[in-house]
């Protein structure tokens, strides 16, 4: 490949004196140059070749014309665009100053006054662009320049031009992600075609959060993990880290960080107004009990896998239950204690009842994880098992279990995806407190399994003001096939136990044999995972005891042993 700097110098020699490379980003390489006609420094950004090939020159240049029409004091204008030596480029003013990223790396947290000023100026630029039908799609500290005491937004319309001009499949094949994971709205992270100004509002809220706290609201080991957390995780209130943040600022931030666009401000201008509203700073403890904020932070999620659903439910449930119990007695006279929790077995709503293994796995893992929260008293799986698929009213079940809070759930298929619905129920009245649905692809990798357990522990510890650790029920495997196959084997083991209780030894041993086959498949899917081997050992021990009680059923197993 020819030297890009040399190609640009030759191709643009009549208009620009290209001096040197300034840096490389996700979509372009930036060069410092001089505009020969106007004698002014400019920044020339050249799209990466693979991205330019996917986008196409004619369509990109047509789309970028829209961004070039934007004229606002806090928007860095587009001077020029075109092709040079086969490369797509666009030209912007060279800003003497620093980016917001540069300042954050130096100071980590900014003064509140500076934060609100920068947020207001960026919000004004966004509101203007949105009124002209342009969504930025890549608001981040790197795209906010600080010069002469003001903030200006760069690359306005570039992400839109690339998205509008390029074929989505081709862009995916190039590995190009439009946007930056740490600042992406949930709808942008999941590839939704319905992107409007409220997506930029969410990204700006992430930037404001970082200016106040020192890091974005969500971090993670991989870009995929970070993007999933935007859809999955509740936002830790910034006042936990910085108690001087005014209530109005925190309220505005948490609303702008709503998981669904409808829960945010209708315009970015309204978000800026809410940030600037005078208020006191009452600190995180009192705010943790405010019902309005609790309701806002209950997310509508798109999950990355089965174990991620479990961790999401842990976060959400522990937050709602424990925040409801603060600031007074655990329960009013005659009522059940809301910290006593019973997770009822989830219901399989699939048409062929084929998801029972998954409903059991979700239920039992959730019970195990919540049992690790010291401030909760969680009914064991054996305690709730008698109330599986019962017609008893929910408040009756709660009284029998002495549980002030019930968790009910269901799993069903929606096309090629799974939908998990969970209800948080007041045990005293039997009424729903919260209801949430989560959707996930069947084959999604459980990318957040390990990291989210740690994040859940951190969140609960901060919210309750005490040492709380959510027990990490790590499946010990990164193979979805191995994990789900083990769940199916475990369900067959339980069925065998029920059959033995009814003296159906033949049926029980047939179920155990099928479970053995599944465990062998789980071992093949992940040979380093010990859980299938441990379950095989438990089943072998149980089978031996059962054969002593039912010697007439030993024939098939003797035959099987002789074959080996």
Catalytic residues: 138
What are the angstrom distances between the C-alpha of 443 and each of 75, 174, 356, 390, 452?
Answer: 43, 23, 17, 32, 19
Report the 10 Å Cβ neighbour count for 481.
Answer: 14
Q: CB neighbours of 174 closer than 8 A, spacing ≥ 6?
A: 50, 51, 53, 54
Q: Name 435's bridge partners.
A: 423
- The answer to whether 321 and 470 are in contact (CB under 8 A) is no
If you ran DSSP here, which 8-state letter would residue 263 be given?
G
CA–CA separation, 338 and 404 (whole Å): 4
Helices (H), 466-530: 480-501, 505-525
Q: Which string of b and e fits 454-473 if b means at least 16 CB within 10 Å?
A: ebbbebbebbbeeebebebb
Angle formed at CA 196 by CA 205 and CA 298, multiple of 5 degrees: 50
Query: Which residue in 54, 29, 52, 33 sits closest to 42, CA to CA?
Result: 33
Assigned token pair, 412: 């069903």
- Assign 443 to helix, strand or coil: coil
Q: Which of 200, 208, 204, 180 is nearest to 130 (CA)?
A: 200
Pairing of strands 80-84, 87-93: antiparallel
Residue with tokens 């936002």: 235
Under a CB-based contact definition with an 8 Å cutoff, are residues 355 and 411 in contact? yes
What gap in Å lies between CA 181 and CA 195, rounded to an integer? 16
Residue 94: name the closest of 141, 161, 35 by CA: 35
Question: Residue 248 and residue 270: Cα distance in Å, rounded?
Answer: 13
Residues in the chain: 564
- DSSP string for 82-127: EEETTEEEEEEEPPSSEEHHHHHHHHSS--HHHHHHHHHHHHHHHH
* Inter-residue contact 357 to 490 (CB < 8 Å): yes
């Amino acid at each position: 490949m020819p030297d890009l700097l040399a190609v640009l110098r030759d191709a643009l020699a009549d208009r620009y004196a290209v001096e040197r490379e300034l840096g490389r980003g996700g979509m372009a390489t930036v060069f410092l140059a001089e505009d020969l006609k106007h004698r002014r420094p400019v920044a020339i950004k050249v799209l990466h070749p693979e991205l330019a090939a996917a986008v196409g020159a004619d369509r990109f240049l047509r789309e970028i014309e829209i961004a070039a029409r934007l004229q606002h004091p806090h928007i860095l204008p587009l001077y020029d665009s075109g092709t040079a030596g086969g490369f797509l480029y666009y030209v912007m003013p060279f800003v003497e100053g620093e980016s917001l990223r540069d300042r954050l790396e130096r100071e980590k947290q900014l003064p509140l006054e500076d934060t609100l000023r920068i947020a207001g100026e960026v919000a004004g630029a966004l509101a203007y662009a949105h009124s002209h039908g342009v969504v930025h799609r890549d608001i981040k500290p790197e795209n906010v320049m600080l010069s002469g005491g003001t903030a200006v937004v760069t690359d306005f319309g570039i992400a839109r031009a690339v998205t509008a001009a390029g074929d989505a499949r081709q862009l995916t094949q190039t590995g190009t992600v439009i946007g930056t994971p740490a600042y992406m709205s949930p709808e942008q992270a999941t590839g939704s075609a319905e992107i409007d100004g409220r997506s930029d509002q969410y990204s700006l809220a992430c930037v404001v959060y970082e200016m106040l706290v020192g890091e974005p609201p969500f971090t993670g080991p991989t870009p995929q993990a970070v993007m999933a957390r935007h859809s999955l995780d509740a936002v830790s209130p910034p006042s936990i880290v910085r108690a001087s943040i005014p209530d109005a600022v925190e309220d505005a931030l948490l609303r702008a960080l709503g998981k669904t666009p409808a829960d945010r401000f209708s315009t970015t201008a309204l978000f800026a107004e809410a940030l600037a509203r005078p208020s006191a700073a009452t600190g995180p403890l009192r705010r943790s009990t405010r019902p309005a904020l609790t309701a806002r932070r209950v997310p509508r999620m798109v999950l990355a896998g089965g174990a991620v659903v479990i961790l999401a439910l842990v976060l959400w449930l522990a937050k709602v239950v424990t925040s409801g119990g603060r600031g007074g007695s655990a329960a009013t006279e005659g009522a059940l204690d809301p910290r006593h929790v019973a997770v009822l077995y989830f219901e399989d709503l699939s048409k062929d009842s084929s998801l029972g293994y998954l409903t059991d796995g979700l239920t039992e893992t959730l019970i195990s994880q919540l049992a690790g929260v010291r401030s909760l008293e969680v009914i064991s799986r054996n305690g709730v098992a008698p109330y599986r698929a019962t017609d008893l009213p929910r408040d009756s079940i709660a009284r029998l279990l002495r549980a002030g809070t019930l968790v009910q759930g269901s799993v069903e298929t929606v096309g090629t995806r799974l939908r998990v619905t969970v209800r948080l129920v007041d045990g005293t009245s039997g009424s729903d407190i919260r209801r949430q649905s989560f959707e996930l692809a069947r084959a999604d990798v459980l990318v957040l399994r390990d990291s989210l357990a740690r994040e859940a522990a951190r969140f609960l510890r901060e919210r309750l003001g005490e040492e709380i650790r959510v027990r990490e029920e790590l499946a010990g495997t990164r193979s979805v096939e191995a994990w789900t196959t083990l769940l199916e084997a475990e369900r067959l083991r339980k069925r065998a136990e029920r059959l033995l209780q009814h003296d159906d030894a033949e049926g029980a041993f047939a179920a155990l044999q099928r479970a053995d086959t599944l465990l062998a498949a789980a071992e093949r899917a992940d040979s380093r995972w010990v859980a299938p081997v441990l379950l095989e050992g438990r089943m072998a021990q149980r089978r031996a005891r059962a054969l002593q009680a039912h010697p007439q059923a030993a024939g098939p197993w003797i035959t099987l042993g002789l074959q080996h």
